[in-house]
Structure 1
Amino acid sequence: MFLTIANVLGPRDIARVQKKADALDWVDGTRTASGRARAVKRNLQANLRTGPGEGLHTFLMDAITSHPVLKAAAQPARFSRLMLSRTGPGSHYGPHVDNAHVGAGEERVRTDLSFTLFLSDPESYDGGELVVEAQGGVHSAKPAAGDMVLYASGDIHEVRPVTRGERLACVGWIASAVRDPQARASLFELENLRAALGTKLAADEPEHLALEKVISNLVRRWSQD
């Protein structure tokens, strides 16, 4: 999977996040990396467990978890805690694969899907593309601020070196209730069909109920939670 989801945050929300990010404590990103990732990670990460950080974490999590396209595509069961990443000139995150689990204790989450929510205007920095080697080929993304890229955690990916400006992004992981990627893709297609039918058929037409039945029964069949 490689999916760009537009407008997870609007311009006013982006400005709010950027302002609050400037007041946070930032640490070396290698503190949260392990294995090969530690050797190729060169960025800064914010402490989101302080008072201001927790407030920002809650704000971002609410926006992410409530987005209908993300819910339809990921079929989420659990979300990891979020990380805020800052990548400046000369910094990058080389090719790596995400750990199978992140967090510890009650916060431990299996990583089926990863996401990057871009928080900087792409014109404000050079480089910093998110590059993912998926089955369909190599994908490169540097979307508008407020857009999110969703991709399989098991795919090799990297953040290319930033050569000018600063790249601010929010990253996190999802444990999906539907672990089979093909099943998730089929459900996403059906959800897109349901949205399209909503614009063409009256709400009381029987096709809506029939499609809802199919989706619900497939979720029951495929869900692991």
Structure 2
Amino acid sequence: MIPFQTLPDALTPEDCDRIIAAVQASAMKDAGLVRGQTAHHLRRAEIAWLDDIPEGAWVMDRMVGLIAQANRTAFNFDLTDFGESAQVARYGAEREGHFGWHSDIGAGTWAAKRKLTVVVQLSDPADYDGGALELWPDSNVATAPRQRGLATVFPSFELHRVTPVTRGTRWSLTLWAHGPAFR
């Protein structure tokens, strides 16, 4: 199994602009809260869920086929659904936006069912510094490409992080494909 799969043209630059504009018109929430406690040492970002934004329904339609193809090509996991809304995150330099090392699988109704994580680069890489998506699938850390509209697909149990943004703003779209527990 390869550590991650990239889908270079998952979204067009126009699609990325459309998602960012829809989210900016909504009320984003502080993503630094973990189980009701502030945990900005772990994550400093703002998020919005696309289910809460009427203009965002088309995104899942676009992504489902791409994720199925990536799964067939690279992972061959038993996937059953997309039970969670897609999440858009804003990591701004004014707050040193980041997300420390973590995996997306764990306790809880949805996290326990996550099999694949998909992160789509919405920002133009020239618009920010830092903010690298790093994956730690084995003894080496790999950095995901930063091409706008590119999707990085990886197993949800894989450790990953977003390094601190030092200039500008990094926007990303994250969604999870679910399935029965790993055995």
Is this contact kept in 2: 1:37–1:96, CA < 8 A? no
2:100 corresponds in structure 1 to 94
Size of the aligned set, in residue pairs, is 173
Query: Contact 2:118 / 2:152 at 8 angstroms: preserved in 1?
Result: yes
Given residue 63 of structure 1, which amino acid in structure 2 is its aligned partner? Answer: R
Is 2:50 aligned against 1:48? yes
What are the Cα deviations for residues 23-42 of structure 1, in whole angstroms up to 9, with x where unaligned? 121110034x4499945011
Bigger RCO of structures 1 and 2 (CA < 8 A, at least 6 apart)? 2
Verify: 1:61 aligned to 2:60, yes or no: yes
Q: In structure 2, what is the Cα distance between the partners aligned to 1:26 and 1:36?
A: 18
Is the strand fraction higher in 1 or 2? 2
Q: TM-score, normalised by structure 2?
A: 0.81
Aligned to 2:136: 133
Greater helix fraction, Structure 1 or Structure 2: 1
Q: Which runs of 5+ in 1 are unaligned?
A: 181-225
Gaps of 5+ in 2: none
1:11 Cα deviation after fit: 2.3
In 1: Cα distance, 2:104 partner to 2:38 partner: 8
Taking a change above 3 Å as real, the CA distance of residues 172 and 12 of structure 1, as seen in their structure-2 partners, is same
Counterpart in the other structure of 1:175 = 178
User: Could you tell me how far apart the structure 2 residues matched to 1:141 and 1:4 are?
Assistant: 8
Name the residue aligned to 1:27. Answer: 29
Provide the rounded CA distance (Å) in 2 between the counterparts of 1:59 and 1:162.
Answer: 29
Percent identity among equivalent residues? 26
Spell out the pairing of 1:144-159 with structure 2 (5 A cutoff): 144-159=147-162
Q: TM-score normalized by structure 1?
A: 0.67
Give the partner amino acid of 1:12.
E
Going from structure 1 to structure 2, the CA distance change for 1:37 and 1:5 (only over 3 Å counts) comes to farther
Equivalent pair of 1:81/1:172 in contact (CA under 8 Å): yes
SS at match of 1:165: strand
Give the structure with higher Rg (CA): 1
Query: What amino acid sits opposite 1:88 in the alignment?
Result: G
Cα distance 1:85–1:61, how it changes in 2: closer, same or farther (>3 A)?
same
Query: Contact 2:51–2:85 (CA<8 Å) still a contact in 1?
Result: no
CA contact (8 A) 2:113 2:181 kept: no
- Alignment RMSD: 2.7
Q: What SS does the aligned partner of 1:95 have?
A: strand
| Larger CA deviation: 74-83 vs 164-173 | 74-83
